[in-house]
Amino acid sequence: MPARSTILVANDPGVEADTFLYQAAYRQLERGRTVVYAVFNRPPSSVARAMREYGFDTTPYARQFLLLDGYSALLGTRDPGAAYRLDNPTSIDDFGLLLETVSREHRDAALIVDPLSNLVDVLSVPEFVRKFPLLRQTLNHFELTVALFTQWPYADDVSKVFSDFDVVIALRGVEDRVLFGQYFALQRANWKPGLSTKPQLYKTHKPGGVHVYVPKIVVTGAYTAGKTTFIHAVSDTAKSANFEGSTVALDHGQVRIDGLSVDLFGTPGQERFDPILSTIAGQALGMILMVDSTAPETFDRARDMLNKIYREGLPAIVCANKQDLPNALSPSDVHARLRPPPGVQVVGCRANDRASSQEVLRRLLEQVLKTGVSA
Ligand SMILES: Nc1nc2c(ncn2[C@@H]2O[C@H](COP(=O)(O)OP(=O)(O)OP(=O)(O)O)[C@@H](O)[C@H]2O)c(=O)[nH]1
Ligand SMILES: [Mg+2]
């Protein structure tokens, strides 16, 4: 991002957005930058508290983290934790003047405005639209501005002000009567015309912050190939329904890796469960085929399972498992015998080793992200 960029995070009501601001603020603190966090709709000290829950503890950065209180004056109170106080939170002009002062005192600070739309709510859309350009100039004094805008169904069109920002990121909900998912999409970045991303589902974690959400990766393969072992090795929490050591329903694991939050679903390997295979694998965003590299007699069965789930374009990887055993075939030998579809790589792995299993998952997730985790 070029210096002095302004980013607008525009969310639909009900879609979690705070975490994006907390995470942005924290990353700036980590880089040694001063962060001015202007908050309009709740007590400023609650921001630091909420950030801590997400794992973004601001205490070590007390001198760099400055809260601007645009809330308390409305209640006639004072927040002792705030460095600045806006005495008239309903005045966009006063806010601009205060920001002028702040930016003079803290050159090259990052500014967070949580939420900018609060000024629309206390003014009116036409007045906000008329007065915003002046405030916009003040934002240029900051090294970076991240402003949140919650898009209530306003009577007038407020999106005109969006074009004054360098970057617009939309946060939307995936709805089917109830909200069951949320996604973000980069709509525009001024310095790179034409750049926009596919919608990415996300989840927020306490602690952890915003993670791109990959709701379904399916792990399949023949009986005893190592699917359950793999899922338990990479997952933070995993559940399996096993009977005498073999999976009878499915394995489910939740993984957090490299800023991603991934749900893994393992299929049983026994043939008697094949009728439910396509149900488990339906709508998968990627698949891992586990094969036991020491048991080439199972490869026909493995290929059969792959064919039941694989469709053209689905990110997929073959895991040549049990590489620690002396009689294991090498990944290239497994490839030669298994003959997976073009573009499906075979990688070696030891499912009982966390790092090795994570490596396989990473390779697959790279492909999944290229394809997009679309809502
Ligand atoms: N040496 C070695 N053993 C492994 C490895 N991965 C799995 N195993 C062993 O292989 C056996 C079967 O592993 P599971 O993870 O239960 O296999 P599965 O694919 O879930 O089997 P089903 O659910 O019955 O289809 C277990 O005894 C594991 O400990 C590995 O990388 N190396
Ligand atoms: Mg199993």
* pLDDT one-digit tens code per residue, 209-262: 999 999 899 999 999 999 999 999 999 887 777 777 777 767 899 999 999 999
Among 36-40, 99-103, 157-161, 352-356, the range scoring the smallest mean pLDDT is 157-161
- The overall average pLDDT reported for the chain is 91
Judged against a pLDDT cut of 50, whether residue 375 lies above it is answered with no
Confidence of residue 179 (pLDDT cuts 50, 70, 90): low
Q: How confident is the model at residue 178 (pLDDT cuts 50, 70, 90)?
A: low
Pocket test for ligand 1, best of 219, 227, 229 (most atoms within 8 A of CB): 229
pLDDT, one tens digit per residue, over 53-85 is 999 999 999 999 999 999 999 889 999 999 999
CA dist 163 and 168 (Å) reads: 8
Please report the pLDDT score of residue 66 as a whole number: 98
246 touches ligand 1 (CB under 6 Å):
yes
pLDDT score, position 336: 97
* Ligand 1 atom having least distance to the Cα of 325: 1
- pLDDT for residue 344: 96
In this predicted structure, the answer to whether residue 357 has a pLDDT above a threshold of 70 is yes
Task: Report whether pLDDT(177) > 80.
Answer: no
Ligand 1, atom 27, lies closest to the CA of: 224
172 in contact with ligand 1, CB cutoff 6 A: no
Q: Which of 187-191, 320-324, 341-345 bottoms out in mean pLDDT, i.e. has the lowest?
A: 187-191
- Say how many Å lie between the CA of residue 190 and the centre of ligand 1: 51
Instruction: Provide the percentage of residues in the chain whose pLDDT is more than 90.
Output: 71
Cβ of 324 less than 6 Å from ligand 1: yes
Q: Which of 162-171, 176-185, 225-234, 333-342 has the lowest mean pLDDT?
A: 176-185
Residue 45 Cα to ligand 2 middle (Å): 48
| pLDDT tens sequence across 273-284 | 888 888 888 889
Please report the pLDDT score of residue 373 as a whole number.
59
Atom of ligand 1 nearest to the CA of 290: 19
Token pair 């689905």 in the structure block, residue = 314
pLDDT value at position 195?
79
With vertex at residue 209, the alpha carbon angle to CA 208 and CA 214, rounded to the nearest 5 degrees, is 90
Work out the pLDDT band at 10, boundaries 50, 70, 90.
very high
| Res. 152 pLDDT band, cuts 50 70 90 | confident
Number of other CB atoms surrounding residue 187 within 10 Å: 15
Residue of the CA atom closest to atom 21 of ligand 1: 224
Q: Which atom of ligand 1 is nearest to the CA of 246?
A: 24
Least confident of 62-71, 118-127, 151-160, 295-304: 151-160
